[in-house]
Structures are given as C-alpha cells and as structure tokens.
Structure 1
Amino acid sequence: MLKEAVEYSLAEGEAARLVQITDPHLFASNDGQLLGVNTSQSLAAVLNTLNATHYPAHLMLATGDISQDYTPDSYRNFVQAIEFLGLPCHYLPGNHDDPRVMNLHMQGPRVFGQQRILIGNWHILMLDSTVRGKPGGHMGELQFSLIDQAIAAYPNHHTLLVMHHNPILMDCAWLDQHCMDNGSDFLARVSAYPQVKGILWGHVHQAVDEVYATANGQLPLMATPSTCIQFKPKSPYFALDHLQPGYRLLELLSDGSIHTHVYRVPGNRFAPDHSSSGY
C-alpha cells in the first residue's frame, strides 16, 4: 500500500521547477572542514548563488550525504541554512547519513522525508539506495515495489526517479567501487515504464548529463556537483577537481520533457587540499 504523498498544485500546463542540492557533508560545528573546504560556508555560497538568480522554484530536492559526522546538529544546521530560501525541501539519505538521526532532526514546517511528491502531472519518487555500513548502494525490492505501485496508481503522470547512488559507472575506478551495485538491472527495469522520464542522483560530486536508450526513447540520466568538494572525473585514483561547488535547476514540463542545467559558485573561493588521498 502506498504511503501518502506530498502534493503541490500547478496551473494547467505549468512546468514544475526544482532545485537539486546534494552532498553538503555538514558537521555539528560550522567550522568543520572536509579536505580543506569549510562545508558550511560552501553550502551557504551555493544557496546565496541560487538566491541571487531569483529562480521561481517550487521546491528543493536534497539528495543525501547531508551530514559528514552523523550528528543531530549537522542536520539541524542544514535546515537552518536553507530556511531563508522559503522553499519546501524534500530529502533522502546518502551513505554518509544515519537515517534514524536524519529523520529525527531534519525537521521543519517545510522539510519533508516522504518518498512521493505529486506536482502538476509529475510524480517524483525519492528512493533509498543506501546500504547500512557501506559506501556503495543497492536498489532493493521494496524500492522497486514502490516504483511499481506508484506508476500503477498514477499511470498518466510523468515520473522522475531520484536517489543518492549512481546507477551507471563513472569511468572513475576508485569511485565506481561505490556505485549502485545493481544499476544495470535498475535501469533495465525502470526504463520499461514509458512514464519514467528522468533519473537524478548525487554521490559522485560531479555533473552528469547523459541519456539511456530505451524502447520508449532517450531517458535523461543526471547527477549534480556537491555543495562542497568535487571529484575529478575519469580518474583511476582518488583526486579532487578544481571546479567550484554547484547545484542543478530542473524544469519538468507538462509534456514529459525536462529542461535542466548545472550552475556553480562563481570565482575560485573554495580550494580543496589536492594532496588528499581519500576521505
């Protein structure tokens, strides 16, 4: 049985406008640093950059690794940081999160942990790809059941699937050890549904805009930069990129198409420790 969805009404034909932020890796202390980057400050820079655009978003998606130290205060810091935007925020867990602590302390009048969002003629499913105690991910049968039931209940809605882990390999040997281990099966199963119009994730700390060929056409595959450190693409060993923190804007059009773009903090304020061999 499907659990209740959070619902938003749109004008006829209006696009659903979303912001995705991911992998802030916050600490209990606002002085906390990850590989030389103050993650509280980098998140604030991303949110200020977004705010300066005056993008008329309907809601925000926060796709995991909210915390780096698993503390209640790290989650409360996130809620406090986004409050000034006035946007509803829907979140899901990443491998660095403690789901129990997260659900207890990611609290606010506009903060939601439900897995289903109905907005206009779109159905957004916030999937849990985490495996307790492991950095890599797996899409379990309970999540597949949610997808099946949600599409059966709303067959005329377009569907966006959102998760933390990458279902495709990144051609980045060290990072590909920590992908969704059944990503190929996941893509094969969900692409059989014509209602599925896009797949969105975090985890990889870099931008991805690719397509997956299906019998129903080209399925967009999208990943978004972290709001803190960036991983160097296509590196066989752990390496950090020089690019700045970022976020993604998405427009889900009523015809099922998606317009999207990644934006980054301007300048070069955030420089990680490139001598780091891991985290």
Structure 2
Amino acid sequence: MLKEPVSYSIADTDVVRLIQVTDPHLFADPEAKLLGVNTAASFQAVLDTFLATEYPADMVLATGDISQDYSPQSYQHFSSTIAKLDLPCHYLPGNHDDPRLMSLHMQGNHLFGQQRIIAGEWQILMLDSTVRGKPGGYMAEQQMALIDAAIAAEPNKHVLLVMHHNPILVECSWLDQHCMANGEDFLKRVSRYPQVKGALWGHVHQTIDSQYSTAEGGIHLMATPSTCIQFKPKSSYFALDGLQPGYRLLELASNGSIQTNVYRVPGEKFSPDNDASGY
C-alpha cells in the first residue's frame, strides 16, 4: 500500500528549491578523520558555505553515507548539525549506513525518512538502492513498485528520483564495481514515464551532469560531491581529488525543467591524504 507523502504548500507556479548534501561519513568522535579530512569540520564548512549565500531553499535532501562508523552518535551529530539550516531534511541510506540506527537516532521535527515528497508541481521519491552488507547497490523490485504506484497516484506531477548509488558507470573502474548493478535496467524502466525528469545520487564523491535520452527528451542525471573527501574522476585505481567539499542546489520549475549547480567550500582548507590506497 502506498504511504501518504510529506507535502509542502508550494504554489503550483513556484520553483521548488533544494539543497543536496551527500556522503558526510561522520564518526562518533567529532575530531576523527577520513583519509586526512575531519569529516565533521568539512560537513560544517559545507553548511556554512551554503548559509553564507542566504539562498531561499525549501528543503534538504541527504543522500546517504551519513555515517562512517555505524555509530548512534554519528547520526546524532548529523541531526544536530543539519538543524542549523532551519530547513526540513529528507534522508535515505547509503552503503555505509545502518537503516535501523538511522531511524532510531536521526530524530527531530526537521528530519524525515519517508520516501515520498510532494512539493508544488513535483513529486520527489527517496529510493533505497542499498544491498545489506555490500558496497554496491541494486534497485529492488519493491522500489520499482513504489515508483509505479507513486506516479499512478500523482500522474500530473513531474518526478525527481533520488538515491545513493549511481545507475550509470562513471569511468572509474575501481568505483564502478560498486555501482547500481541493475542501473541500465532501472533507467530503461523509468524512462517509459514522461513524468520522470531527473535522477539524483551521491556515492561517487564527484560531480556528474549528463542526460539519459528518452522519447520525451531525456532524464537529467546528477551526481554530487561529498561533504568530505573527493574521488578523482576517470581514474582506473583508487585516487583522491584535491577539490574541496561541496553541495548541489536544484531548482525544479513548474514546467518540468531542472536548473542545478554544484558549489564548493572556498579555499584549500581540506586536504586529503593522497597516499591513501583505499578506505
């Protein structure tokens, strides 16, 4: 049975404004580092960078790998830090997350784990692409059924699909081992719906903006930098990028178009350990 969505009273003619943050990899210890980067500090720096813009966002989408150490405290840190934005935050799990701990410890009036969001002329679906115990992803039939039912329930809404794993290969052979295993089938299936205008994910710690061609024109495919370490694009072996942590802004127009940009923390404060061979 399709569950009720979280709904926002945004006028049908207005733009829906989103901020996406992804892959913060937080620890119980706020001083802990991942490959040379203090993830709590870099996450805070990303939020501070966004706050400095005074951009009128409607909500936050947090697309997984909230935790690095599966600790209750890591989720509590996320909850208290994201609350400073004073925006509703919708989250989904990544392969480094424990969904049970997420639901127990990501608590507050501003946090939502529901999968359906209605805002203006848009329906946003927060999908679970994780496979328990594996770094790679898979879009299970249950999630596909959710997409089918949600579009049937709101056939006049444009749709943004949000997940953790990349449904397309990113030309990093070490990283593409851990993509969404049925990504090609997933995109083929959702492309039959003209309502689907975009697919948004994290996981790959780098920027991707591309297009999946459909009979109706295309689906905008988007990946977003991590709020901590970055992976070097198109590298056959594990390699970190020196680019700073970042976030993505999206503007969903009532006509179904998507305007989006990635922004990064200014300066060079966060430098990863470039000798690292994995994590």
Question: Do these two structures clear the TM 0.5 threshold for a shared fold by scoring above it?
Answer: yes
Q: How far is the alpha carbon of 1:219 from its aligned partner?
A: 1.2
* Structure 2 equivalent of residue 175 of structure 1: 175
Instruction: Identify the residue that residue 87 of structure 1 maps to in structure 2.
Output: 87
Answer whether contact 2:12 2:121 (CA < 8 A) is retained: no
Residue-by-residue CA offset, 1:81-105 (whole Å, 9 max, x unaligned):
1111100000000000000011110
The separation in 2 between residues aligned to 1:167 and 1:210, in whole angstroms, is 12
Give the AA of the match of 1:190. Answer: V
Distance in 2, matches of 1:146 and 1:276, equals 40
Match of 2:30 in 1: 30
* SS of alignment partner, residue 268 of structure 1: coil
Query: 2: distance between equivalents of 1:240 and 1:92?
Result: 25
Which residue in 1 is equivalent to 2:234? Answer: 234
TM score, norm. by length of structure 1 = 0.99
Residue of structure 1 equivalent to 2:188? 188
1:4-153 pair list within 5 angstroms: 4-153=4-153
Pairwise mapping of residues 208-223 of structure 1 onto structure 2 (< 5 A)? 208-223=208-223
Letter in 2 for 1:90: H
Q: Using the TM superposition, give the Cα deviation of residue 11 of structure 1 relative to its aligned residue in structure 2, in angstroms.
A: 2.3
- Structure 2 unaligned residues grouped into runs of 5+: none
Give the aligned residue type for 2:115.
Q
1:245 corresponds to 2:262? no
Structure 2 Cα separation of the partners of residues 179 and 64 of structure 1: 14
CA distance in 1 between counterparts of 2:94 and 2:4 reads: 22
| CA distance, structure 2, for counterparts of residue 10 and residue 91 of structure 1 | 20
Structure 1: give runs of 5+ residues left out of the alignment: none
Question: How high is the sequence identity, in percent, across the aligned residues?
Answer: 70
Amino acid at match of 2:219: L
Give, as a single letter, the amino acid of the residue that structure 2 aligns with 1:242: G
Secondary structure of 1:217 counterpart: coil
Shift of 1:12: 3.7
Secondary structure of the 2:147 match is: helix
* Number of aligned residue pairs: 279
Letter in 2 for 1:19: I
Q: CA offsets, 1:211-238, max 9 Å, x none?
A: 0111111210000000000000000000
Measured in 2, the distance between the counterparts of 1:21 and 1:243 equals 16
Supply the RMSD in Å over aligned alpha carbons.
0.5
Deviation at 1:4, TM superposition (A): 1.4
Match of 2:162 in 1: 162
Deviates more, 1:78-87 or 1:89-98: 78-87
In 2, Cα distance between equivalents of 1:128 and 1:159: 16
Deviation beyond 4 Å, 4+ runs, structure 1: none
